[in-house]
C-alpha cells in the first residue's frame, strides 16, 4: 500500500510527538482503523454462500461483494494524496472512517444484491484512503527514533487482518448471519473516530486548493468499472454473444486508451504512468499483478469449493484458509533480512515458484479430502508469501528514483488491488465453465447409470431421490475437476510471474522507500 503524497507546503509546523498513554491510545485507534479496512477484504470470502442464499442469487454472483470492494478500494488509493492535500490529513481520515462506518451499516441492511454491491463500492471508496493515512499519522505521532515501531504496528495489522478475516467471517455467518460481518465494523469505527478526533487534531495538515485531474479520474472509473462489470456479468449474458457485454468491452477499451493518452500528456496526472519508463518497475509490477491475481483468485475460490462441494461450514472453511497467514508472519522478518544480501530477483522468484508448487499441491484434492490435506498447502504457502510480497515491493521501488517512489508505490498498489479483483472474476467464471464442461464429459462416460439408480431404489430410495443423488455425485466431481483446472492454471501464471522478475535489472541498492 502506498504512502500518501502530502506536499511539504501543506504540512503545518510539526507538533511534538505523543507520549505515554496518549500515544498508546492514538496508535491503537489508527492501527484499529487500518485493521478493520484490511479485514473487510477477506471477511466476506467465506460468507459468499450465505450472502448468495440470503439474497437468492448464485454463489458466482455473490463474489461481486468481494470484487466490488476491491476495485473501489483500488480506485480510491491514487486520490488519497490529493484528498489529504485539499482537506487535511486528519480531517479526511475522519471523513473516510465515518463514510466507511455508514456504508458498512447500509451493507448490513441491504435486501438485494444490487444494493449490497453499490454499498460495498461506496464502502471501498471510503475505506481505501484509511490504509495509507493511518500509516502517515502513525509516523507523525511517534518520535522519529521510534518510527520503526510505528511501521511495525501498521505492518502487523495489515498482516493479521486477512488471517483473521476468514475465521471471523465464518463464525459470524454461521452463528449470527452474514449481515453481522458488516455490523461489527460500527463499534470499531466509533472507537477509531473518537480516538483520532480527540488526540490527533494538532497533527492536522494545512488545506491547500490543489488541482485535480478530473478527466483522468472519470476515465479511470469508467474504464475500470466497465471492465469489472463485463467480467462479473459476462457468464450470465453469454459473453460476446450479448450486445451488453460487447458494449462494456468497447467502453472499457476506449476508456482505457483515452486514460493512457490523457495521463501521459496531462501536467498533473492522477496516475503517473511515466513511471513505466523504468524497466525494473514495469516488469516487477507485471510479476506482482500476475502473482497477486492468481493468489487472490485461490483465496476466493477455495472457500467456495469447500462449502459448495466438500460440505464444510463457513466456520470450518475459515479454519482451513486462516492457516495461510501463520508462516507468513513468521517468515516476514526472514524475507526482510535477505534484502540487500542476496540478489533480490532470486528470492522473489523462489517465493513465487514456491506458491506455484502449492497450487499444484492443491490440484491433488478430491471431494473426500481430509482436513489436514486441505490445510497443508495453506500452511506451507505462507513460507513463500513474504518473499513474494516484501521482495517484489522492494524490487519495484528500488527500480525508480527516490523522488518517484511515492508515485510508484501508489500505482503499484492500485494495480495489485485491481489484479486481485480481476483474478477473482476470471477464476469464478472459469470455474463455472470448467465445471459445466467436466459435467458433460462425466455424464457421457457414466458406466451403467440405470443399474446404479436401480441399486439405490432397492436400498430404499425413491426414483426421484436416486436421480437427485446421482446428479449430486456428478456435480461434485465436475466442480472438483473444475477447481483443479483453475489451480493448475494459477500455477502456470505464477511461473510466468517468476520469469518476469528476471527481465527487471538487479537494483544497485535495495530500498523500501514509501512502500509498506
With CA atoms as reference, report the closest residue to 347 among 362, 334, 360. Answer: 334
488: Cβ contacts below 8 Å, ≥ 6 apart: 359, 360, 363
Give pLDDT, residue 309: 83
Alpha-carbon distance values, 24 to 141, 152, 447, 469 (Å): 10, 14, 68, 58
CA distance 327 to 384: 9
Give pLDDT, residue 360: 94
Q: How confident is the model at residue 515 (pLDDT cuts 50, 70, 90)?
A: very low
With CA atoms as reference, report the closest residue to 333 among 456, 159, 130. Answer: 159
The correct CATH number of 279-516 out of 3.40.630.10, 3.30.450.20, 1.20.1250.20, 1.10.3300.10 is 1.20.1250.20
Give pLDDT, residue 450: 72
Give pLDDT, residue 70: 76
CA distance 382 to 358: 10
Instruction: Quick: pLDDT tens for 478-513.
Output: 888 888 989 999 999 999 999 999 998 887 766 544
Cell of 116: 449490497
Cβ proximity of 324 and 378 under 8 Å: yes
pLDDT at 365 over 80: yes
Sign of CA dihedral 95, 100, 106, 111: positive
Give pLDDT, residue 332: 72
The least confident of 194-198, 384-388, 444-448 is 444-448
Cell of 212: 485535480
Find the mean pLDDT for residues 375-380: 89
CA distance 470 to 231: 32
pLDDT at 4 over 50: no
Find the mean pLDDT for residues 364-389: 85
Instruction: Quick: pLDDT tens for 104-121.
Output: 999 999 989 889 989 999
pLDDT at 310 over 50: yes
Neighbours of 35 (CB within 10 A): 21
* Proportion of the chain above pLDDT 70, given as a percent: 89
pTM comes to 0.76
The least confident of 12-21, 219-228, 235-244 is 12-21
pLDDT at 456 over 90: no
The correct CATH number of 1-212 out of 3.40.50.2300, 1.10.3430.10, 1.20.1250.20, 1.10.10.10 is 1.20.1250.20
Give pLDDT, residue 5: 43
Give pLDDT, residue 105: 95
Instruction: Quick: pLDDT tens for 127-186.
Output: 888 887 887 787 778 887 665 566 557 666 766 677 677 778 888 888 888 899 999 999
Residue carrying the nine cell digits 481520515: 93
Angle, alpha carbons 144-130-32 (nearest 5°): 75
Average pLDDT score, the chain? 81
Give pLDDT, residue 8: 41
Find the mean pLDDT for residues 236-263: 88
DSSP 8-state secondary structure symbol assigned to residue 267: S
Give pLDDT, residue 441: 72
With CA atoms as reference, report the closest residue to 95 among 208, 228, 196, 244. Answer: 196
**Angle of the 113-127 helix axis to the 130-141 helix axis, nearest 10:** 30
Find the mean pLDDT for residues 272-290: 88
CA distance 348 to 283: 13
**Angle of the 344-362 helix axis to the 371-398 helix axis, nearest 10:** 160
The least confident of 143-152, 199-208, 311-320, 446-455 is 143-152
Please measure the distance between the N-terminal and C-terminal CA atoms of the chain and give it in whole angstroms. 6
**Angle of the 279-308 helix axis to the 344-362 helix axis, nearest 10:** 20
Amino acid at each position: 500500500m502506498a504512502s500518501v503524497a502530502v506536499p511539504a507546503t501543506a504540512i503545518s509546523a510539526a507538533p511534538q510527538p505523543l507520549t505515554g498513554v496518549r500515544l498508546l491510545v492514538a496508535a491503537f485507534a489508527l492501527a484499529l482503523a487500518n485493521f478493520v479496512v484490511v479485514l473487510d477484504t477477506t471477511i466476506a470470502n467465506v460468507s459468499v454462500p450465505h450472502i448468495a442464499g440470503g439474497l437468492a442469487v448464485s454463489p458466482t454472483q455473490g463474489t461481486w461483494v468481494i470484487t466490488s470492494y476491491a476495485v473501489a478500494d483500488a480506485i480510491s488509493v491514487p486520490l488519497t494524496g490529493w484528498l489529504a492535500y485539499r482537506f487535511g490529513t486528519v480531517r479526511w481520515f475522519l471523513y473516510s472512517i465515518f463514510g466507511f462506518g455508514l456504508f458498512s451499516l447500509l451493507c448490513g441492511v441491504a435486501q438485494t444484491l444490487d444494493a449490497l454491491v453499490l454499498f460495498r463500492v461506496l464502502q471501498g471508496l471510503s475505506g481505501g484512503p484509511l490504509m495509507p493515512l493511518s500509516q502517515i499519522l502513525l509516523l507523525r505521532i511517534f518520535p522519529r527514533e521510534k518510527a520503526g515501531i510505528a511501521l511495525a504496528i501498521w505492518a502487523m495489522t495489515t498482516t493479521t487482518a486477512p488471517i483473521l478475516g476468514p475465521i471471523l467471517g465464518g463464525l459470524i455467518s454461521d452463528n449470527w448471519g452474514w449481515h453481522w460481518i458488516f455490523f461489527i465494523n460500527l463499534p470499531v469505527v466509533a472507537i477509531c473516530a473518537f480516538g483520532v478526533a480527540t488526540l490527533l487534531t494538532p497533527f492536522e495538515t494545512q488545506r491547500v486548493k490543489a488541482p485535480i485531474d478530473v478527466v483522468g479520474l472519470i476515465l479511470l472509473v469508467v474504464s475500470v468499472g466497465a471492465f469489472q462489470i463485463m467480467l462479473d456479468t459476462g457468464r450470465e449474458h453469454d459473453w460476446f454473444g450479448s450486445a451488453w457485454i460487447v458494449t462494456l468491452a468497447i467502453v472499457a477499451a476506449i476508456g482505457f486508451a483515452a486514460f493512457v493518452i490523457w495521463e501521459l500528456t496531462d501536467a498533473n496526472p492522477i496516475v503517473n504512468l511515466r513511471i513505466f519508463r523504468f524497466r525494473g518497475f514495469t516488469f516487477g509490477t507485471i510479476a506482482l499483478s500476475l502473482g497477486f491475481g492468481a493468489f487472490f483468485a485461490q483465496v476466493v475460490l477455495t472457500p467456495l469449493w469447500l462449502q459448495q462441494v466438500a460440505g464444510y461450514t463457513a466456520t470450518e472453511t475459515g479454519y482451513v484458509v486462516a492457516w495461510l497467514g501463520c508462516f507468513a508472519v513468521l517468515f516476514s522478518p526472514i524475507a526482510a533480512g535477505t534484502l540487500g544480501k542476496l540478489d533480490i530477483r532470486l528470492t522473489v522468484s523462489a517465493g513465487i515458484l514456491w506458491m506455484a508448487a502449492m497450487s499444484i499441491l492443491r490440484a491433488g484434492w478430491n471431494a473426500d479430502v481430509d482436513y489436514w490435506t486441505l490445510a497443508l498447502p495453506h500452511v506451507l504457502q505462507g513460507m513463500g508469501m513474504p518473499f513474494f510480497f516484501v521482495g517484489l515491493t522492494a524490487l519495484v521501488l528500488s527500480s525508480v528514483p527516490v523522488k518517484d517512489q511515492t508515485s510508484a508505490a501508489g500505482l503499484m498498489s492500485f494495480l495489485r488491488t485491481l489484479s486481485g479483483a480481476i483474478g477473482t472474476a476470471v477464476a469464478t467464471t472459469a470455474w463455472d465453465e470448467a465445471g459445466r464442461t467436466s459435467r458433460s464429459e462425466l455424464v457421457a462416460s457414466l458406466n451403467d447409470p440405470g443399474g446404479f439408480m436401480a441399486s439405490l431404489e432397492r436400498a430404499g430410495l425413491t426414483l426421484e431421490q436416486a436421480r437427485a443423488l446421482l446428479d449430486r455425485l456428478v456435480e461434485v466431481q465436475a466442480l472438483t475437476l473444475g477447481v483443479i483446472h483453475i489451480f493448475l492454471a494459477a500455477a502456470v501464471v505464477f511461473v510466468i510471474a517468476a520469469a518476469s522478475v528476471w527481465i527487471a535489472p538487479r537494483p544497485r541498492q535495495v530500498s523500501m522507500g514509501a512502500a509498506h
